[in-house]
Amino acid sequence: MGIRLPSILLNAKQILKTQALSTRNQSGVPKGHIAVYVGEIQRKRFVVPISYLKHPSFVDLLNRSEEEFGFRHPMGGLTIPCREDAFINLTARLHRS
C-alpha cells in the first residue's frame, strides 16, 4: 500500500509550466525548489526543495491545500493552510532527515 499523492501534486508540472522561467528566477526561487505561501490568515512565502513534496507529512499538507483551495490558490502560487510555526517545524524536521 503506497502513499496516495494528491492530484495537486500530480499536476505540479502543469502548475510550474504556467510560471514563466524569468518570473521564477526574478522571484528568488532556485532550480529544484518551489515557493509556497503558508498561513491561516496572513500568508508568508517560503521556498522549499521540491523533494519535500514526496514526504508523507508534506503530502498531508498538500491534501489539505487541495481540499481548501482546489487549483485556485489566492496568492497565485501554492498556498498551504496551516500555522506558520507548524510549517517551520515540519520543514526543519525534513531538512534534518
Axis-axis angle for helices 56-69, 84-96 (nearest 10): 150
Q: How many CB atoms lie within 10 A of CB 78?
A: 22
> pTM, whole model, 2 decimals?
0.67
Looking at 1-97, which runs of residues are DSSP E strands? Answer: 33-38, 44-49, 78-80
Residue 48: phi and psi, rounded to 5, are -125, 155
Q: How confident is the model at residue 6 (pLDDT cuts 50, 70, 90)?
A: low
CB 37 within 8 A of CB 75: yes
pLDDT per position as a tens digit, 56-87: 999 999 888 888 877 666 666 788 889 999 99
